[in-house]
Amino acid sequence: MAEISTQVSSSINGLTREFGVITHNLANVSTVGYKRRYNTFSKALMAQGVGATQETSDQAQLQTTFDFSQGSFTETGRSLDFALCGKGFFVIETPQGPLYTRNGMFQLDQNGQIVDSSGRIVAGQAGPISLSPDMSPSQISVSSDGNISVAGTAVGQFKLVDFKDKADQLVAAGLNCFQAPENVKPDTSGNLIVKQGFQEGSNVQMVEELTDMIMVTRLYEANMKSLAVSKVNSKSLMSVAMG
């Protein structure tokens, strides 16, 4: 009886975690470049039924991974908005090492360098991309391969990378960025298309997330009832044993 109670409690913990993943996705349904998180725990639990075996509660079933599928594009007309079409990332330079993002809402800092919304340098193929501080952003033109020119003069190229089959090893680093483990190195991306004047929206599908939320909630309630019954039966057995 105690073993069953432990298994159900483990299932409840897994469902609670998955509920948190879903609510996080819903909170970012309008976040530019956001990639949804997903967890298969509830589907595995549904397949095995309430009060599932220890296999369902295995740590692998509790891991949260990212869906890097393409989000939809919105045209903004802003010269420092960029969307990526295809698999890959912009590179953001930080003192702690490079970060990777699909959020191409950039700006110019006081030194004329292209930076992200937090003021961190957006990497170019040959280092930071520096422009004249007094120039107008409307003079910036970016080709589909990421080459940047100002009034017809080339000034640099975005550093674009792809992790290919290792993308699932990336971890969240905050502010819609990802970090790669030390042993995972990106490749230069040759297939990405840069779209100037566009933003890539979140790839969260609200209907899908709400459907998953309903399933998780129902499984949670069923497991709570199962846990309550298990505790009642356990107390009954104890009373009989003591009687």
pLDDT bracket for residue 87 (50, 70, 90): very high
Q: Which tens digit of pLDDT belongs to each residue from 118-169?
A: 999 999 999 999 888 778 888 999 999 999 999 888 999 999 999 998 999 9
Residue 106 burial class via C-beta count within 10 angstroms: exposed 0-12, middle 13-18, buried 19 and up: buried
Residue 228: the pLDDT is 76
Q: Which tens digit of pLDDT belongs to each residue from 156-178?
A: 999 999 999 899 999 999 999 99
Q: First and final CA of the chain: distance in angstroms? A: 19
DSSP state of 202: P
pLDDT bracket for residue 60 (50, 70, 90): very low
- Domain ranges, ordered by start, for the chain: 2-68+203-242, 73-200
**Whether pLDDT at 14 is above 90:** no
C-alpha to C-alpha distance for 17 and 21, rounded to whole angstroms:
6
Angle between helix 206-242 and helix 2-27 axes, rounded to 10 deg: 160
Q: Which tens digit of pLDDT belongs to each residue from 99-114?
A: 999 999 999 999 999 9
The DSSP element (H or E) to which 5 belongs, if any, is helix 2-27
pLDDT bracket for residue 232 (50, 70, 90): low
Residue 53: the pLDDT is 46
Q: What's this model's pTM, rounded to 2 decimal places?
A: 0.84
Q: Which tens digit of pLDDT belongs to each residue from 197-231?
A: 999 999 999 999 999 999 999 988 888 887 777 65
Average pLDDT in the 86-111 region? Answer: 95
